[in-house]
Amino acid sequence: MINRILIPDILQPVSHYCHAVEAHGIIWVSGLVGMNFDGTIPENTKEQFDIAMKDLDTCLVAAGGSCSNVVKVRVFLTDINDRTIINPKRIEYFGEHKPASTLLEISALVDPRMKVEIEAEAVIIK
């Protein structure tokens, strides 16, 4: 069975997708950005990343998982130098659970004010 998850309390998708999908113990979390539910976007990368990570956690929990189930993350930054700004939050969130990871610098996100996006895959052992 495929469980498509839309979470009413986080920013709604800007296109035809859902926040997360869970099937057979695998969770895919769509890209999450640093925009608040009310549409505001903080100016700095750290605050944007904090929002995206909070929403990532919300999606994982809604799908039956947690940070310890994450096996892969992808982080997209509009400025690769911001890695040092977001890395402490990643370490705090994942702790001893180190997922595989990809970090990419990209030219832009869907809104030019956005600086960071994160997506993840997780596995729930049933």
| DSSP-derived secondary structure for 53-99 | HHHHHHHHHHTT--GGGEEEEEEEESSGGGHHHHHHHHHHHHTT---
Domains and CATH numbers, the chain: 2-123 (3.30.1330.40)
What share of the chain has pLDDT > 70, as a percent?
99
- List of residues 6+ apart from 61 with CB closer than 8 A: none
Nearest CA among 9, 8, 86 for reference residue 53: 86
**Residue 111: Cβ within 10 Å count:** 13
* pLDDT tens digits, 3-33: 999 999 898 888 899 999 999 999 999 999 9
In angstroms, rounded to a whole number, what is the distance separating the alpha carbons of residues 45 and 59?
21
* pLDDT tens digits, 52-95: 999 999 999 999 999 999 999 999 999 999 999 999 999 999 99
pLDDT for the residue numbered 126: 67
Q: Which amino acid is at 64?
A: G
pLDDT for the residue numbered 13: 87
pLDDT for the residue numbered 11: 87
pLDDT for the residue numbered 114: 97
Report residue 5: phi and psi, to 5°.
Answer: -115, 120
* Pair of tokens at residue 42: 């903080």
Q: Which amino acid is at 115?
A: K
